[in-house]
Structure 1
């Protein structure tokens, strides 16, 4: 019987095949940053369950900082990948969709029972829809370059830090009681609607690429000042930034429409279309 099934003896001269191709380190670094942000988002959920609101807010804030860093690091190291983009979207949904919704529910929305839970779900679902639309728009080849400076709707990290405004006020102005639960629920749904809306918001992706030489030292001082204020007066600074951001949204819309009008006129002039026809087409 041994002759029927002779043992296989590999050729010692044959080079050993590699089952897996080595992955460059530059591709791993951005994904590690994304995973660290995901860990912070999951920690925020745990802190929300344990009613440790301040630590939960800090975790979401640090997750937003890491989320802003991983994309820039990926572009600097030329380590962008489809896997990294998908991982970033899943991480953003947990960090800026699920975690803030659960945090607000355990904070005050649970006073409204099912209505409070519905408000939290509306926000979380809006975050998921906003991220899905963002991924689709990345593949749009006809999108002008200037539109890359704007998001369609409020970005997920900005929405997460903005929707937590009632918690900031709770720590610095007045304790939020159950009477304010309906107001918080309406505000939560409002931020969710802003995330899925078509309102253009400034992305800030082009900031920091080039800095004038005479502005380097003042920029360092400004960064240190903001960091010191954020550490010493965290909720005060977050509340002020949130209010300023909400007030600045209409100005972003006005700027976007002006750029869009100028782009339409430039396209019409390039194509040889009379300006009157171009304006009629816009109407």
Structure 2
């Protein structure tokens, strides 16, 4: 059943924080990387999880593997920048789960392109996926989130753009900063419906995409993170779980940096 979170865990015989057992949750881009980590955390917590992605073979396999963690996980093929696909995702959540309580708008891309060679097509692709895709997902799911009575929207932004910069990712950084501008107004507009809108800003997280940047990049990055390690996809999932919980019901329009302290040092010498 979707709706108000229970205040007690009958199985445990008492209250349990961050209880999402049985809730309906959509994670866009949930077949790999951070999205898969978010879906895994919710699945282990007993939620009904619908993941989306473009690769059907990968998606069905991911749903099967995630389903073994707990809860109920299924997949629907969807292109983030498609309004029609966004509507299909919302319809699938209603059909399979009876409604929707939490939307994790996570789908995003980060192709590298220096400013000197960045094409208009490069810009359009990143904005269509990362910004327009977020807005389309929220719009499509909004009636279900209103009907839930305790809707939650969790955006996956990044430290890149809102906090830091990195060569080759100007279009990506701009898109991630744009998500936060969208988040603040959406939080105000949706507050009368009891819907909260928040964002997680990951630092460097151990994903397939980061691994493609090479071992030297990974080791040099770890060296400037105070906690001396890359984040895990589950680290981001736990932040999303908090925002999805009843305990976070009075938190909206906020951006939570999850980066192991990466943005804190004034210079590398601070970690010597």
Higher-Rg structure is 1
Choose between structure 1 and 2: higher strand proportion. Answer: 2
TM-score (norm 1): 0.27
Choose between structure 1 and 2: higher helix proportion. Answer: 1
TM-score (norm 2): 0.27
